[in-house]
Amino acid sequence: MIHRMAFRVLSAGILATGLIMATLLAQTAGLNADEKALVAFVDAHNADALALLERVVNINSGTQNHRGVQEVGQVFRQELDTLGFKTRWVDGAPFKRAGHLVDEHAGPGPKTLLIGHLDTVFEADSPFQKFEKIDETHARGPGVIDMKGGNVILIQALKALASTGTLKTMNVTIVMTGDEEDAGEPLIEARKALVDAAKGAASAIGFEDGPGDPRTAVVARRGTSAWTLRVKAQPAHSSQIFRKDIGTGAIFEAARILNTLREKMAGEPHLTFNPGAIVGGTSAEFDNVQARGTAFGKTNVIAEHAIVTGDLRTLSQGQLTKAKKTMEAIVAATLPHAQSTITFEDGYPPLAPTEGNHKLLAMYDKASRDVGAGPVAAVDPDRAGAADVSFVAGEVKMILDGVGLMGTSDHTVKETADLATLPSQTKRAAVLLYRLSK
């Protein structure tokens, strides 16, 4: 009886092991020998990746903490130096920020641009400062998913490629900006290093966390523009409002414009426009830097001035141009005895869902399936905010973003990483980069 039981236990164990092996073989059936070695490296060094993640999360790198941003950059710079990258720091003084880390690995293959950022929204005075393990598969921390986790995935994928000898012939440039969460000014100067690095690249990959769902990636992002509406009207006693020789005042004119914008533009796919602040009265002032305004007026005086500020989000340059023309036409049709102007300040450009972007997504989806991480589809661009990857849309034909560490509640003190996605996201990235290099 004892021998029979032992045999049954042994048989059950062999069967279970066989099923596990069969499952693993089925999951990696689409991988060649080098790609299987990449997957094995990632699994064997996941503890190293976790240690690196904890180390950088514990360094405060709020955008305005320039020393902290540079310190995080130095950690990643040392990692990339050991892989044979030529690294340099771009001084951020001209655009009032810490600067950027740029790393280059010259090779004969097609150039790939990898994008990350070093800063977080949590400044040095934030109460949220440290990496905290919640359980085996979850951890909280400032920037743990947005986007220090993505930077770690980027570096671990390159380490895996180096372990197989593949990195030696790869042509890779990395840009980790130091001001993604609060871009420096002038913006064209703050993103010059990134745009320059994109020149000649066949593909670009951003390691942001995206929507936090490993079943999706980003092929399109809406751009952002700020707008300011200013109205000046004829002041008079309130009892005379609506007279033909006096008019309706600045506040009514501003209200007309806003309501007409809503009537004519609301509902267009992927287009949003939002008036975020309004001041009006006999006098009105607004400070765009501080995002606050003041106004003086009396109930018995027709308002002479009104100021409205807002944002505009579009999915393509064509949609942006059309929206601006529509808004300008509505503003130009002013009521009598009022003068209105609208000005725009473009911020992050749109990343349109091009054929090339979808092609790169298809390659990523295939890599994901082949490593056993499941399919990946494009996320709705309305759920994807602005990011640095959009600045290279004019230079690179294939762009993908949102392939970093997954989790929830970024930009809040509950920012939490799903650590189970650290190895799976790294495997996907490593295999994709391997295939792009071939």
CA distance 118 to 9: 52
The residue-averaged pLDDT of 342-347 equals 95
pLDDT tens-digit map of 80-135: 999 999 999 999 999 999 999 999 999 998 999 999 999 999 999 999 999 999 99
Q: Is the peptide bond before 186 cis (omega within 30 degrees of 0)?
A: yes
Assess whether 281 and 322 both reside in one domain. Answer: yes
Q: Which two tokens stand for residue 58?
A: 């514990």
Whole-number pLDDT of residue 290: 81
- Establish if 139 belongs to a structural domain: yes
What total of structural domains would you count in the chain?
Answer: 2
Alpha helices in 164-293 (DSSP H): 187-190, 192-198, 250-265
CA distance 353 to 220: 5
Assess whether 160 and 228 both reside in one domain. Answer: no
* SS3 assignment for 286-303: EECCCCEEEEECCCCECC
CA distance 53 to 69: 15
CA distance 211 to 101: 25
Residue 28: pLDDT band with limits 50, 70, 90: low
Pair type for strands 203-206 and 99-105: unpaired
Percent of the chain with pLDDT over 70: 93
Assess whether 216 and 227 both reside in one domain. Answer: no
- Establish if 3 belongs to a structural domain: no
Domain end: 328, 346, 364, which one? 346
Whole-number pLDDT of residue 16: 42
CATH of the domain at 285: 3.30.70.360
The residue-averaged pLDDT of 7-16 equals 43
- Establish if 416 belongs to a structural domain: yes
Domain end: 303, 327, 346, which one? 346
Assess whether 292 and 374 both reside in one domain. Answer: no
Assess whether 165 and 237 both reside in one domain. Answer: no
- Establish if 10 belongs to a structural domain: no
With a CB cutoff of 8 Å and minimum separation 6, the contacts of 246 are 234, 236, 240, 302, 337
CATH of the domain at 48: 3.40.630.10
CA distance 69 to 76: 11
The residue-averaged pLDDT of 20-44 equals 78
Asked if 75 contacts 56 with a C-beta cutoff of 8 angstroms, the reply is yes
- Establish if 20 belongs to a structural domain: no
pLDDT tens-digit map of 53-90: 999 999 999 999 999 999 999 999 999 999 999 999 99
Q: What angle do CA 258, 346, 290 make, to 5 degrees?
A: 75
Q: Identify the CA nearest to 364 among candidates 375, 356, 380, 351.
A: 375
Pair type for strands 216-217 and 377-378: parallel
Q: What is the pTM of this model?
A: 0.85
CA distance 169 to 394: 26
Residue 360 has pLDDT above 50, yes or no: yes
- Establish if 100 belongs to a structural domain: yes
Residue 13 has pLDDT above 50, yes or no: no
With a CB cutoff of 8 Å and minimum separation 6, the contacts of 315 are 220, 222, 223, 269, 270, 271, 350, 352, 353, 381
Domain end: 346, 378, 400, which one? 346
- Establish if 424 belongs to a structural domain: yes
Whole-number pLDDT of residue 289: 78
Q: What is the DSSP letter of 218?
A: B
Q: Identify the CA nearest to 33 among candidates 434, 360, 366, 361.
A: 434
Assess whether 80 and 217 both reside in one domain. Answer: yes
Assess whether 281 and 420 both reside in one domain. Answer: no
- Which helix (H) or strand (E) element contains residue 117? strand 111-117
Pair type for strands 111-117 and 171-177: parallel
CA distance 172 to 395: 16
| Average of per-residue pLDDT values in the chain | 93
Assess whether 131 and 227 both reside in one domain. Answer: no
Assess whether 289 and 396 both reside in one domain. Answer: no
The residue-averaged pLDDT of 333-342 equals 96
Whole-number pLDDT of residue 3: 44
Whole-number pLDDT of residue 385: 77
Residue 332: pLDDT band with limits 50, 70, 90: very high
Assess whether 122 and 227 both reside in one domain. Answer: no
Residue 20 has pLDDT above 80, yes or no: no
Whole-number pLDDT of residue 14: 43
Asked if 347 contacts 386 with a C-beta cutoff of 8 angstroms, the reply is yes
- Establish if 85 belongs to a structural domain: yes
The residue-averaged pLDDT of 337-351 equals 95
Assess whether 246 and 260 both reside in one domain. Answer: yes
Assess whether 146 and 62 both reside in one domain. Answer: yes
Q: Identify the CA nearest to 432 among candidates 387, 398, 383.
A: 398
**Tokens 């059309």 map to which residue?**
322
Whole-number pLDDT of residue 24: 44
Q: Which domain holds residue 170?
A: 30-221+351-437
Residue 25 has pLDDT above 50, yes or no: no
